[in-house]
Chain A
Amino acid sequence: MIGITSYGAYIPWHRIDRQLFAKAWGGFAIPGERAIASYDEDSVTMAVESAIDCLSDIDTATVDGLLFATTTSPYKEKLCSATMALALHLRRDIQTGDITGSLRSGTTALAFACDAIKAGRTNSMLVTASDTRMAPPSGITEQSLGDSAVALLLGKKNVIAEIIDSYSISDELAATWRSETDTFIRSWEDRMVMDESYSKVMPEVLSGVMNKCGLSPKDFDKVVFDPPGDIRRHGRVAAELGFDPAQLLDPSGIFMNLGLLGSAMSLMMLVSALEQAEPGQKILFAGYGNGADAFVLQVTNAIKKLGGRRGFTKHLESKHMMTNYNDYLRWREIVPLDQARRPDRGHISVAANWRQRKDLLGLWGIKCRRCKTPQYDNGGITTTPIRVCAVCGAVDDFDDYDFSRKKATVFSYTQDQLAPAPDPPSSVVLIDFEDGGRMLFDLTDRNPDEVNVGMKVEMTFRKVFVDRGINNYYWKARPIRC
């Protein structure tokens, strides 16, 4: 049996009421709110967060591959999944791949992962889909998009939803696109896209996979598939195929609360369906974008044994409403801004980052074999990585120690108004980890007024600095999210 063995999701803490877009630009506001990746998040960091959620109770050494699906890769050239693999503590002898440029990249990755396992190439594959798409400011698309990430682990053991079969359609149309130099989405008239692409491709792919499996609409407990840009057309396609509205996973909940999530949209809907699924249920699932990929899934008894995850539901509820649209413009670097009168930051050294890749991306510290003290030094002049124990002086007599999944308590903090910060003040915390070790970190996704000595925090993977196109990924502390 091959199928989904675990799921996870990530939704940014920050949401914005769509009224704020209309307030800034005039015109019409779509009802509801959308998810906004913070200034220190991108599709890579969100994918890592969703994968951490997915792997929360799973031994990372059992994962044989990682696929990163996105239309918003921070790099045109450089593998993001290689960065993510270090953050997720995956092995080195695994298949990593980025599947980019398509809104359907999430389901494409799912199909490839499934095939790799079926072919015996791997035993398990982690599929992540994450997007932070941008539309030109002031348009309606800016309001309708949302930022989020999803992770699915595929494998043969402890399958919670078997993938019975799949079917794909390829379809050529420039419905939405970004060229090599475009920052913002361009699109063709949505009425034509609807008539000639979505309303033909989606029925075709759903019917195709049902025919392949000898199933009909009544055989499914849940039908989960990508909505088009105008989500009202989603239900029409389902009705025309003969599905009852009760079978349908309505995308309007995600749309109204988060927005259209790009490559993560269909997979987020699937996670939402799996969170409520019962053993034995059949799910018809499809992702759309220049064609479509459809899957038939069957939920197993193992779904009842899967441990708790933040997933879709808990992340959805944990949120912070942004108070203005300007912060969105600042965080996405859409408008040039006055720079703080602070020193220019020096260049990133690729060599130094490479040398410390395990410590920096994986937040691996050490535990002294002699005095048993967990340690990590992220602020020293010449002390990273630790070669000499700060307590007993032992040299290189250490075991690896994972700080990334440890919780910690704020020992002291400041709210720095002088430090340059896209979300001032710069909240900095000195934290004591639950089983030992102290570190200084930026605190993100926080309300400055709620930061206190004794506050509980957890670690989150973030983008801390960009230099010459190199994204410096590292860890920050955040108040325990949910």
Chain B
Amino acid sequence: MSGSIKDRVAIVGMGCTRFGELWNKGPSDLIVDAVTEAVADAGIEVKDIEAAWAGSIFSGHGGRSVSEPLRLKYIPITHVVNACASGHDAVRNASYAVAAGIYDIVLAVGFEKIKDEGMSGLPGMDNATHTHAVATMPGMFAMMATKYFHRYGLSPQEGKTMLAKISVKSHYNGSLNPKAHLRNVLTVERVLNAPIIAWPLGLFDCCGVSDGGAAAIITRADLAKKFRKDPVYIKALQICASPTSGRITTDYDLTHVEEGYRAGVAAYAEAGIKDPRKEISMAEVHDCFSITEAVTMEDLQFSPRGKVKEDIDAGTFELAGALPVQPDGGLKCFGHPIGASGIRMLYELYLQLQGRAGKRQIKNPKLGLAHNMGHEPLAPTVSVCIVGL
């Protein structure tokens, strides 16, 4: 791979809806709300958008899902469906088109209307032969927690306490964020005493289930300052899709995510980062479940293998810690409207880098990392985006 996206494109406007059980909003509302904010933030009009990429997996079908609500006039729009990395992949494809010099101003928008299903959790994804084991997403990730505890000799109590601290931290951050779905402050005791969803994961180990939308206006780096004084530059955009051998061969340990590690390595190389723990100022990672965040800290080389507990106990990833993670509250508090999540993460990093994060503001951040993990631990697709000033 010879090319790099580093500093070739910039985000000059972003928007993000409040996430939650938005009974009164449909997918078109989520798109219009997010894009209207992003367009205003960039100081442009909707008609200035030359092309668009939309990320979603359940809501919408094709580019028309976005052209219709926004009445975008006769421009090319691509619908990106790539599991939980759909939002990041929309940004990636939009950025490449700009970097290639084809367009000057493009839109990447992610959205998902989940709460029209009449139930908790995500819509079904059976295979045609209905031979999948009957596990939910919590169940699939729970197996990773089981294995992590087993491998590193953590008793259920020790392991669950480690995970509880992750959720407590994220809920504190979410409580400071008016756009978060869940804004209650938790205690470790409450997390530990919550009902089990899929052993060993309890209710508060699982992210919320929410509707939401988020959007970014992307332009060429050399044009960025025409829109605003503080554009946020893309440093790396990497995606790693699983060959799905973790479920087939016995060499995968289920205590790390190889795709997450490799996406991180590729992104660090693209961004020129040598020591991620020191150089990354903050991260928004895919904490669909508490165990996912724990393992991701190791995959992204923030913590040594098997040692994330030490960093969790030390408060490293808290808002005031050395490397704040989920400053906005994460999937834990925002829920996970699939296509929206990746761009929602970038929205927080964008605000933080511009010093606009209010009560959550991290002191002087330079580089932010956003990470999404699609599917499940045995067969994930992972995206890593790095942005900075």
Chain A residues at the B interface, C-beta cutoff of 8 Å: 341-346, 348-349, 352-353, 356, 360, 373, 375-381, 383-384, 386, 390-391, 411-421, 425-426, 428-430, 432, 436-442, 453, 464-465, 467, 472, 474
Of the candidate stretches B72-80, B85-93, B142-150, the one touching chain A is B142-150
Question: For the complex, what is the distance from the CA of A473 to the CA of B74, rounded to whole Å?
Answer: 50
Question: For the complex, what is the distance from the CA of A356 to the CA of B127, rounded to whole Å?
Answer: 12
Identify 10 residue pairs between A and B in the complex whose beta-carbon atoms are under 8 Å apart, listed by A's number. Answer: A379-B131, A412-B150, A414-B142, A415-B196, A416-B135, A418-B138, A419-B139, A428-B133, A440-B132, A441-B133
Is chain A's binding surface mostly helix, strand, loop or mixed?
loop
B290 to chain A, nearest CB (A): 14
- For window 131-175 of B, CB contacts with A under 8 Å fall at 131-136, 138-140, 142-144, 146-147, 150
Q: Which of A420, A421, A438 is the one whose CB lies under 8 Å from B248?
A: A438
Chain B residues at the A interface, C-beta cutoff of 8 Å: 117-124, 126-136, 138-140, 142-144, 146-147, 150, 195-199, 201, 243-250, 252, 254, 378-379
Please give, as numbers and ranges, the residues of chain A lying within 8 Å of B150 by CB-CB distance.
412, 453
Question: For the complex, what is the distance from the CA of A373 to the CA of B131, rounded to whole Å?
Answer: 22
Question: For the complex, what is the distance from the CA of A343 to the CA of B199, rounded to whole Å?
Answer: 21
Q: Are A472 and B130 in contact (CB under 8 A)?
A: yes
Q: Are B129 and A428 in contact (CB under 8 A)?
A: no
Find the A residue at minimum CB distance from B198: A416
For A344, A352, A437, A438, which residue has the most chain B Cβ atoms within 10 angstroms?
A438
Please give, as numbers and ranges, the residues of chain B lying within 8 Å of A465 by CB-CB distance.
130
Q: Are B139 and A439 in contact (CB under 8 A)?
A: no
Please give, as numbers and ranges, the residues of chain B lying within 8 Å of A348 by CB-CB distance.
128-130
Question: For the complex, what is the distance from the CA of A380 to the CA of B132, rounded to whole Å?
Answer: 9
Q: Are A414 and B129 in contact (CB under 8 A)?
A: no
Q: Are A428 and B135 in contact (CB under 8 A)?
A: yes
A234 to chain B, nearest CB (A): 43
Is chain B's binding surface mostly helix, strand, loop or mixed?
loop
Please give, as numbers and ranges, the residues of chain B lying within 8 Å of A426 by CB-CB distance.
133-135, 139
Find the B residue at minimum CB distance from A342: B119
Question: Given A343-B117, A418-B198, A453–B129 Cβ distance below 8 Å?
Answer: no
**Extra pairs beyond A345-B126, A381-B127, A414-B135 (15, CB < 8 Å):** A346-B126, A346-B128, A346-B130, A348-B128, A379-B131, A379-B247, A411-B147, A412-B150, A416-B136, A416-B139, A417-B197, A428-B134, A436-B250, A442-B134, A464-B130
Nearest 8 A-B pairs (CB), nearest first? A343-B124, A416-B139, A341-B119, A414-B142, A352-B128, A390-B245, A415-B199, A416-B198
Please give, as numbers and ranges, the residues of chain B lying within 8 Å of A419 by CB-CB distance.
134-136, 139, 198
Q: Which of A342, A360, A390, A441 is the one whose CB lies under 8 Å from B249?
A: A390
Q: Are A379 and B132 in contact (CB under 8 A)?
A: yes
Q: Are A360 and B199 in contact (CB under 8 A)?
A: no
Question: For the complex, what is the distance from the CA of A285 to the CA of B94, rounded to whole Å?
Answer: 79
Q: Are A414 and B249 in contact (CB under 8 A)?
A: no
Q: Are A379 and B254 in contact (CB under 8 A)?
A: no
Q: Are B139 and A440 in contact (CB under 8 A)?
A: no
Q: Are B119 and A343 in contact (CB under 8 A)?
A: yes
Q: Are B129 and A472 in contact (CB under 8 A)?
A: yes
Q: Are A412 and B143 in contact (CB under 8 A)?
A: yes
Please give, as numbers and ranges, the residues of chain A lying within 8 Å of B247 by CB-CB distance.
377, 379-380, 430, 438-440
A203 to chain B, nearest CB (A): 51
For A413, A429, A441, which residue has the most chain B Cβ atoms within 10 angstroms?
A413
Please give, as numbers and ranges, the residues of chain B lying within 8 Å of A353 by CB-CB distance.
128-129
Q: Are B128 and A379 in contact (CB under 8 A)?
A: no
Please give, as numbers and ranges, the residues of chain B lying within 8 Å of A440 by CB-CB distance.
132-133, 135, 247, 378
Q: Which of B122, B142, B246 is the one whose CB lies under 8 Å from A416?
A: B142
B200 to chain A, nearest CB (A): 8
Q: Are A375 and B249 in contact (CB under 8 A)?
A: yes
Please give, as numbers and ranges, the residues of chain A lying within 8 Å of B243 by CB-CB distance.
390
Please give, as numbers and ranges, the residues of chain A lying within 8 Å of B123 by CB-CB distance.
343
Question: Given A390-B249, A453-B150, A379–B129 Cβ distance below 8 Å?
Answer: no
Q: Are B138 and A428 in contact (CB under 8 A)?
A: no
